[in-house]
Structure 1
Amino acid sequence: MLQSLYEFWTAAAGGTPLEWVAVITGFACVWLAARESLWNFPVAIISCGLYIVVYYRSQLYSDSMLQGFFILMSLYGWYEWLYGGARHTALVVTRTRRWEWLAVAVGIAAFTAGFGYYLQQHTDAALPHWDSFTTAGSMAAQYLLTRKRLENWLLWIVVDIIYVPILWYKELYPTSALYAVYLGLAVYGYFEWRRAARAAAHTTLAATS
């Protein structure tokens, strides 16, 4: 009976129960991040732990490894959002620095070329270079998010656009749909954070005048 119910769920829902739990928690953490809620970090840790298994089973090894990075960055971001501002105060939304953009561009290019080559030559990875590019872009976007840089959402938009067809191709249909939702949330997050950045800038200007 339990096996029959499992098979029915898999066929009807288009994914395993494990993937669906990862999808739900993944949606929750991005929504909370867009709302500047600290709760996005513990929820992200749960979701990423589940996706380590989901991606590994689908031969998306780079993305599976990426989840471990996300867990570490979530712990770091949790601290930074609380105490990473001036005089150990909470962070406010700011713009990405020029040197950060340069580091992001060089890092993404180098990781995509290097790790993509490794996956292509030494593993049975399904889409080695695309997998590596989305991994590198996600790491860069996550770092900028932990520092509350507004433009992290622009990077997420690019990454999500690429992830949707990759995950559909790998028959991870619920996760592909989730990344389509992520795309909308990234647009929403950008405008929400831009409003917050302007408010923070006005507050700083008023305090110094």
Structure 2
Amino acid sequence: MQSLYEFWTAAVGNSPLEWVAVLTGFACVWLAARESLWNFPIAIVSCGLYIVVYLRAGLYSDSMLQVMFIALSVYGWYEWLYGGRGKTELPVSHTRRREWVACALFVVAFTVGFGYYLDYKTDATVPHWDSFTTAVSMAAQYQLMRKRLENWWLWILVDIIYVPILWYKHLYPTSALYALYLGLAVYGYLAWRRAMHKEQLQIQEAE
């Protein structure tokens, strides 16, 4: 049972680094929900900080995930700018069936394979949950990078799982951040859906 002092010490952050990561992480998700290109450079900074935070907490898969996020953020930045028809700005669209199939196969394979590795080769405390959330997050980031509306569904699932895991690991500020992410993911879905419907109406009116 934690004392009030121990809880408060953990709640204010294991280090100032975690708090900076929390604030930049919140900013990048809010900017993504607003369809702002600034979400990508802010995400790169936040992910760089979380590499260190997660390594210290023994969440090795999540630490590796941040490296992937940095690479995907660079690519996503380009895609949002030039991924549309004729190298124009990329519009919001639905996830295609083949993308769902590919994402599902990837999540299962990564969860089983990397979860096994973490369980038997490292001191990871929640190896399969760690691997599952990493896999779903990568699938969600791919969809975000392609501006697929349903990326927010995956983020909602991941956030629901991350909140108790991070709390269990005594990363209280980050756990609270993921609770906020959950609300932002719902907001992002509704905002992107409105933007997609608005663009579809404009296309119909122009025809």
Q: 1:130 to 1:109 in 2, by over 3 A?
A: same
CA contact (8 A) 2:25 2:43 kept: yes
CA distance in 1, matches of 2:118, 2:53: 18
Structure 1 residue runs of 5 or longer lacking an equivalent are 1-8
Distance (Å, rounded) in 1 between the aligned partners of 2:110 and 2:13: 32
Residue 99 of structure 2 corresponds to 100
For 2:83, give the aligned amino acid. Answer: G
TM-score, normalised by the number of residues in structure 2: 0.94
Q: CA deviation at 1:14?
A: 3.7
Give the conservation status (yes or no) of the 8 Å contact 1:108–1:136: yes
Quick check: 1:73 aligned with 2:72?
yes
Residue by residue, what CA displacement relative to the aligned partner does 1:118-147 show, whole Å, maximum 9, x if unpaired?
110100011000000000000000000000
CA positional deviation for 1:204? 2.1
CA distance in 1, matches of 2:71, 2:171: 25
State the alpha-carbon separation in 2 of the partners of residues 27 and 43 from structure 1. Answer: 9
Q: One-letter code of the match for 1:113?
A: V
Question: TM-score, normalising length from structure 1?
Answer: 0.93
Are the counterparts in 1 of residues 11 and 171 from structure 2 also a CA contact under 8 Å? Answer: no
Q: 1:3 maps to what in 2?
A: none
Q: Report the count of equivalent residues.
A: 201
SS of alignment partner, residue 69 of structure 2 = helix
CA distance in 2 between partners of 1:15 and 1:57 (Å): 10
Judge conservation of contact 2:10–2:170 (CA < 8 Å) in 1.
no
Partner letter of residue 87 of structure 1? G
- The residue correspondences of 1:112-127 to structure 2 (distance < 5 A) are 112-127=111-126
Q: Could you list the runs of 4 or more consecutive aligned residues of structure 1 that deviate by over 4 angstroms after TM superposition?
A: 9-12
Match of 2:59 in 1: 60
Superposed CA RMSD: 1.4
Q: Counterpart amino acid of 2:175? A: S
Q: CA deviation at 1:12?
A: 6.6
In the alignment, residue 175 of structure 1 is paired with which amino acid?
T
